Amino acid sequence: MTQMLPFINEQFNWPIWRMEIDDMSATLFVELRNSEDKKVAFGAISLLNGQVYFKDITTPERWLTGIEAAYDGTLLVHNYQSENGPVHKGLIAIDGTSGQTLWSNYTLAFDHLCINGPTVYNAQVQPPKLFLADIKTGGLLQAYQPVIDTPLNNHIVVPQMLPADLLKELTLPAEPYANTLHYLEHNSYRIVSLHTFFQEKLKQHLYIINSEGVIVYHDLLNSNIQKLQPEAFVVHKNNLIYIKERSALIVLNL
């Protein structure tokens, strides 16, 4: 059934908790979390040639940390103020190719990403005032100007969740569980993710169907899960990106 082959098929040691794509450098960053040992690591892969830049970069804070954003070949990570709260604390910038720490600042907090870089504020100053920061050095460049510093388009497209009845013309080898599926059209392909329930096991599948209605790719995303999973995949430009069995990153060129 499979006629397409993955461009990237990278297995990580820990579950992938979050992905972030830097559109400027075409780098995909992952946040890996080991809940048993309470450790976090970060990885980076080129979406241009599949090169793995790094897979196990850590920060001084080994657990209360996570991805904030990515811009111009640089990954921004944050700490948490406490284990029981969602409030972020501080910023650390990591070079997306070498994995080296470029700078850290534990008084700055991230607000959002704009076309000119990260917008930050001093968490110790109230009311907060936004500034544009240099992601390579952490220096504050100028006050945030909404007219100039417009939101950044990351070119990521997510599928729609639709009732399976709306797509009866699709010939699928499995019956969608709960009458729902995730669906997206890109170039000449129709991409479908659905769940099946058989012998007391819930599984999640991915299908790619060409313009002639032929399934050219199939993969089992999750083989034994307890509940319906959210977004199964995303498309960035011509890359279809998904996670298999929680810890494998798969990318196909469409």
What's the pLDDT tens digit per position in 177-197? 999 999 999 999 999 999 999
Sign of CA dihedral 168, 173, 179, 184: negative
Please provide the average confidence, as pLDDT, over all residues in the chain.
Answer: 95
Q: Using CA atoms, how far apart are residues 229 and 172, in angstroms rounded to an integer?
A: 19
Neighbours of 211 (CB within 10 A): 9
pLDDT score of 171 more than 60: yes
Residue 158: predicted pLDDT: 96
Q: What percent of the chain has pLDDT over 70?
A: 99
pLDDT score of 53 more than 60: yes
pLDDT score of 2 more than 80: no
What's the pLDDT tens digit per position in 142-159? 999 999 999 998 899 999
What's the pLDDT tens digit per position in 190-228? 999 999 998 888 999 999 999 999 999 999 999 988 888
Residue 18: predicted pLDDT: 97
Q: Using CA atoms, how far apart are residues 208 and 219, in angstroms rounded to an integer?
A: 9
Please answer whether residues 204 and 222 qualify as being in contact, where contact means their C-beta atoms are separated by less than 8 angstroms.
Answer: yes
Please answer whether residues 152 and 136 qualify as being in contact, where contact means their C-beta atoms are separated by less than 8 angstroms.
Answer: no
What's the pTM?
0.95
Q: What percent of the chain has pLDDT over 90?
A: 86
pLDDT score of 57 more than 60: yes
Q: Using CA atoms, how far apart are residues 169 and 16, in angstroms rounded to an integer?
A: 34
Please answer whether residues 139 and 132 qualify as being in contact, where contact means their C-beta atoms are separated by less than 8 angstroms.
Answer: no
Two structure tokens written together for 118: 């990260």
Contacts of 39-42 with CB under 8 Å at 24 or more apart are 39/14, 39/63, 40/65, 40/66, 41/14, 42/67, 42/75, 42/77, 42/94, 42/99
Beta strands in 47-106 (DSSP E): 52-57, 65-71, 74-80, 88-95, 101-105
pLDDT score of 1 more than 80: no
Sign of CA dihedral 24, 49, 78, 76: negative
Neighbours of 198 (CB within 10 A): 10
β-partners of residue 114 are 117, 151
